[in-house]
């Protein structure tokens, strides 16, 4: 099995920094491309202009700032990469991106939340493991 594309979802946490480092090392070993993904909250639908556009601009700016350090890591790695910033629940969006982008491997962090579903891995990671059509590599 040849791994050509690695999806690296990030959320700004220390776990995401570690997962990006793993993604880079794996991509170097496999001569693979990395698709960096960040999913932000949904845009508020109850606002009207100009408040709606201000909210969209604020969310977009925050997302772009969040991915900046990861992009720097990817630039320094000299690997091929692409960036996707999407609106919506990451537990649903990540498996969608896997299909659309033809992803071979997901490398993501886990925050280890305390509820039953997220006891061993975070709830987003748990959703992705159950929904994704490719292997999922969870980092701590």
pTM confidence score: 0.87
Domain 5-139 sits in CATH at 3.40.50.620
**What is the per-residue pLDDT for 110?**
82
| Angle value at C-alpha 11, between 76 and 95, nearest 5 degrees | 100
Q: Which has the closest alpha carbon to 13: 112, 130, 132?
A: 112
Domain boundaries, given as residue ranges, for the chain: 5-139
Q: pLDDT, tens digit, for every residue of 59-113?
A: 889 999 999 999 999 999 999 999 999 999 999 999 999 999 999 999 999 873 4
Higher pLDDT: 122 or 98? It is 98
User: What three-state secondary structure class fits 105?
Assistant: strand
Instruction: Give the full edge-to-edge strand order of the sheet including 136-139.
Output: 81-87, 33-40, 5-9, 105-109, 136-139
17-42 pLDDT, tens digit per residue, is 999 999 999 999 999 999 999 999 87
């Amino acid at each position: 099995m040849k791994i050509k594309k690695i999806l690296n979802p990030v959320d700004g946490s220390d776990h995401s920094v570690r997962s990006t480092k793993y993604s880079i090392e794996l991509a170097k070993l496999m001569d693979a491309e990395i698709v960096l993904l960040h999913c932000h909250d949904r845009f508020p639908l109850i606002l009207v202009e100009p408040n709606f556009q201000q909210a969209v601009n604020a969310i977009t700016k925050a997302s772009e700032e969040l991915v900046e350090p990861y992009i720097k890591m990817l630039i320094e790695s000299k690997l091929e990469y692409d960036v996707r910033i999407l609106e919506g629940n990451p537990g649903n969006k990540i498996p969608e991106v896997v299909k659309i982008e033809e992803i071979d491997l997901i490398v993501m962090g886990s925050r280890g939340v305390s509820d039953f579903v997220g006891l061993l891995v975070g709830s987003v990671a748990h959703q992705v493991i159950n929904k994704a059509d490719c292997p999922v590599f969870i980092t701590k």
